[in-house]
Amino acid sequence: MRGVAIIGIGCTKVGEHWDKSLRDLAVEASLRAMEDAGLYDADYVLVGNMMSGYLQNQEHLGALVADSLGLQGAGAAKVEAACASGGMAVHMGCQLIASGAADSVLVVGAEKMTDATTPEVTKALAMAEDQEYSAYTGASFIGLNALVARAYMKAYGVEPEDMALFSVICHKHALDNEFAQFRFPITVEAVMNSPIVADPLHLLECAGIGDGAAAVLLASLDGARKIADAPVELLASTVSTDKFSLHQRDDLTSFKAARASAEAAFRRAGLRAEDIDVLEVHDASSALGLIALEDLGFAERGKAAELIRDGGIEIGGRIPTNTFGGLKARGHPVGATGVYQIVELTRQLRGEAGKNQVGGAERGYAQNIGGAGTTITAHILGRVD
């Protein structure tokens, strides 16, 4: 198996891009990544996207984006795994490079959500769950997050304010991120006073609706050394799945696929949680942020709130987390999110994170979740010296 490196990164701002189509967003992020690499070519184009079929009536995104980039002839496909589409596209890109099937792979995650009404987007997101036995009940995805949040709070005596603090810190980290959707500070009190979306979750602790695209250009590690000044290596790329529907699982307070993908990734990289300097987790809601810290081994079971209260996930803390705002504040253009995480970790490891820089960051971890803990990808990135 060949080593895999990231030789170029690029993204758009997350937001309401009324003047840009899904294709425009994907092209913009891709060109930035290729410009960053100094290589306008790819053997393969993978597009991470969840909802284009429903929201844009557009499928066949692989060839659509490849053609738009002038890469006719390249292999191309859309990769879909609900909210983990981006992470899964990076994972598939890694397989193509590692196996030798391709020498360069452009992975672009893109989602265009704001052309649709909130009920339409809510329905589209619920397509990640079983249509005949879950979505059929009128459950929204935040509703499923709420079931998790309630079970977690009850199991460990966690207070709503403890969970809200996670989102407050995400907003703080987004202040200096020019690509973030929500660049304003919030307080725990503001979260608690915001409308309930699905009890016990409030509006200000749930990821919003936004458009955006992020791209990475992957190459073999040996090839990368010749092209890029400071390639970042993908030390591990793993994925795990669980029972499809949340309600079928006995434990709602921890995700088996998170633990399994993490264990496999750490084993592959020969590292432990203690070796990670910067972390990106899938905080579709505040509760998922806390659970991720525990599932991935950064906090003991039921103790994530303590880590957060002690400043542990802030820049300068024990394990700086979601250093550009995470899903909550950078934004969550669904199929793009997993690629944004890789772009952001790469900025950290290159020392290009500006005011958000984690001093001496050498290794980063990204967790991307599709469905309510159903498909979870793990990526560990390392600086190449």
Catalytic residue list: 83, 332
Q: Which is nearer to other proteins, 249 or 318 (CB)?
A: 249
Q: Which of 252, 342, 358, 361 binds other proteins (CB under 8 A)?
A: 252
Rule CB under 8 A: say whether 360 interacts with other proteins: no
Number of residues that bind other proteins (CB under 8 A): 37
Three-state SS for 333-358 is CHHHHHHHHHHHHHHHHHCCCHHHCC
Q: Which is nearer to other proteins, 19 or 251 (CB)?
A: 251
Rule CB under 8 A: say whether 301 interacts with other proteins: no
Minimum CB–partner distance for residue 291 and other proteins (Å): 14
**DSSP alpha helix (H) spans, 244-325:** 256-269, 286-295, 304-309
Which tokens sit at 61? 């995104």
Contact string (CB under 8 A) for other proteins, positions 172-201, x = contact: -----------------------xxxxxx-
Q: Which is nearer to other proteins, 96 or 197 (CB)?
A: 197
Minimum CB–partner distance for residue 33 and other proteins (Å): 34
Rule CB under 8 A: say whether 118 interacts with other proteins: yes
Q: Which is nearer to other proteins, 50 or 234 (CB)?
A: 50
Rule CB under 8 A: say whether 273 interacts with other proteins: no
Would you call the peptide bond into 160 cis, given omega within 30 degrees of 0 as the criterion?
no
Minimum CB–partner distance for residue 197 and other proteins (Å): 6
Q: Which is nearer to other proteins, 16 or 362 (CB)?
A: 16
Q: Which of 72, 187, 248, 301 binds other proteins (CB under 8 A)?
A: 248
Contact string (CB under 8 A) for other proteins, positions 46-75, x = contact: ------------------------------
Binding residues among 196-225 for other proteins as defined by CB under 8 A: 196-200
* SS3 assignment, position 205: helix
Cβ density class 229-255: b for 16+ within 10 Å, e for less: eebbbbbbbbbbbbebbbeebeebbbb
Looking from the CA of 56 toward its CB, the CA atoms found within 13 Å total 18
Q: Which is nearer to other proteins, 154 or 272 (CB)?
A: 154
CB atoms within 10 A of CB 311: 12
Rule CB under 8 A: say whether 4 interacts with other proteins: no
Angle at the Cα of 251 from the Cα atoms of 200 and 279, rounded to 5 degrees: 75
DSSP string, 145-194: HHHHHHHHHHHHT--HHHHHHHHHHHHHHHTT-TT-S--S---HHHHHHS
What is the Cα–Cα distance from 322 to 127, expressed in whole angstroms?
A: 26
From the number of C-beta atoms within 10 Å of its C-beta (0-12, 13-18, 19+), residue 120 rates as middle
Q: Which of 56, 68, 241, 245 binds other proteins (CB under 8 A)?
A: 245
Which tokens sit at 68? 């738009």
Which tokens sit at 288? 């998922």
Q: Evaluate whether 275 touches 363 at the Cβ level (below 8 Å).
A: yes
Rule CB under 8 A: say whether 140 interacts with other proteins: yes
Rule CB under 8 A: say whether 113 interacts with other proteins: no
Q: Where do contacts with other proteins occur on this chain (CB under 8 A)?
A: 117-120, 122-123, 125-126, 132-140, 142-143, 146-147, 150-151, 154, 195-200, 243, 245-249, 252
